[in-house]
């Protein structure tokens, strides 16, 4: 991990920013895809996501680089424990999210992905020593108020939401501080989770409860393609996490649950109260304030002779 402070006002890598936005947009529309697979048990969906994600990613790497990508990974310091930890964190996040959705905790699980960016900003400041401007701190405080409001109207401590938020925030932190490219890292994570996923599907088959190859071929195709759709945003996220400030990653992450909200209300017919609107409005104001301040500072920093105090 670098000991050099990183300012969130540094020039933004445009490809990293585009990769982050693309990842969060895909995650935002994912509920529509998984909604079409609602007749498949949730743990089987997770297992298929792991297996087919690994097939696509490892297959691509073998075709494009043969085993060169594996040999490069072997010489990276502390690679095994870091990717083992990230594998556990992402599997916990997936499993808890699917469990929450299938056990009537949809609201609390969505709240988790609004808390998540605040945790990412906090880790960016405390662990990576990224610095925020006064306007960016104001944006974080407004977003925190919005999340707190949503938690209060929920009526009880959001333990599921907190677990989802912290598991993915620490996953992103590990991937940012591990010197591994996006696809090789995801390939190793998939391989770590592959055996448990295969064993679970074999057990389901033994119990005559398996869905794959026991119904509509369209459903089987969607389960396979779910692996590819799982890989793409994770690759984009890990690519972006190493190229733009982690605090910016945290704020951009509000795109995903906001798009999920639009899909849920406009397309799936879910309710949306005025109390919820207050919390969401705070979060969007914070996002616009943070992004606007960052873009203004990036533009000023490119002007000849300009200097910007990142703490002003």
In the chain, where are the structural domains located? 7-301
Q: What is the pLDDT of residue 181?
A: 81
Residue 288 has pLDDT above 90, yes or no: no
Residue pair 54/190 in contact (Cβ under 8 Å)? The answer is: yes
Best-predicted range by mean pLDDT among 232-236, 270-274, 290-294? Answer: 232-236
Residue 307 has pLDDT above 70, yes or no: no
| Lowest-confidence pick of 48-52, 129-133, 203-207 | 129-133
Share of the chain above pLDDT 90, in %: 17
pTM of the complete model:
0.76
Q: How confident is the model at residue 305 (pLDDT cuts 50, 70, 90)?
A: low
The pLDDT of 229-246, averaged and rounded, is 84
Q: How far is CA 201 from the centre of its chain?
A: 25
Average pLDDT, the chain: 81
CA distances from 125 to 17, 85, 132, 195, 306 (A): 19, 22, 8, 37, 25
Q: Which residues contact 163 (CB under 8 A, 6 or more apart)?
A: 92, 96, 112
pLDDT digits (tens, 9 = 90+) for 144-175: 898 888 878 877 667 888 899 899 899 989 98
């Amino acid at each position: 991990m670098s000991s050099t402070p990183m300012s969130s006002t540094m020039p933004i890598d445009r490809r990293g920013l585009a990769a982050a936005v693309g990842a969060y947009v895909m995650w935002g529309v994912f509920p529509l895809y998984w909604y079409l697979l609602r007749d498949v048990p949730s743990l089987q969906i997770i297992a298929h996501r792991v297996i087919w994600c690994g097939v696509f990613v490892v297959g691509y790497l073998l075709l494009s680089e043969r085993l060169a990508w594996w040999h490069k990974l072997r010489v990276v310091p502390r690679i095994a424990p870091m990717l083992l930890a990230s594998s556990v964190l992402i599997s916990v996040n997936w499993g808890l999210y699917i469990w929450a959705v299938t056990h009537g905790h949809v609201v609390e699980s969505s709240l988790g992905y609004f808390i998540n960016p605040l945790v990412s900003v906090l880790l960016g400041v405390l662990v990576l020593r990224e610095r925020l401007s006064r306007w960016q701190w104001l944006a974080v405080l407004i977003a925190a108020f919005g999340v707190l409001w949503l938690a209060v109207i929920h009526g009880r401590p959001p333990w599921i939401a907190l677990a989802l938020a912290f598991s993915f925030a620490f996953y992103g932190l590990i991937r940012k501080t591990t010197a591994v490219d996006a696809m090789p890292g995801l390939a190793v994570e998939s391989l770590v989770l592959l055996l448990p996923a295969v064993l679970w599907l074999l057990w389901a088959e033994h119990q005559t409860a398996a869905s794959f190859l026991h119904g509509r071929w369209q459903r089987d195709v969607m389960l396979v393609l779910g692996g590819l759709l799982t890989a793409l945003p994770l690759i984009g996220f890990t690519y972006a996490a190493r190229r733009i400030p982690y605090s910016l990653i945290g704020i951009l992450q509000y795109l995903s649950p906001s798009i999920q909200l639009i899909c849920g209300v406009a397309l799936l017919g879910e309710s949306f109260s005025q109390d919820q609107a207050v919390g969401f409005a705070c979060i969007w104001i914070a996002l616009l304030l943070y992004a606007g301040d960052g873009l203004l500072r990036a533009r000023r920093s490119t002007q000849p002779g300009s200097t910007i105090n990142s703490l002003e």
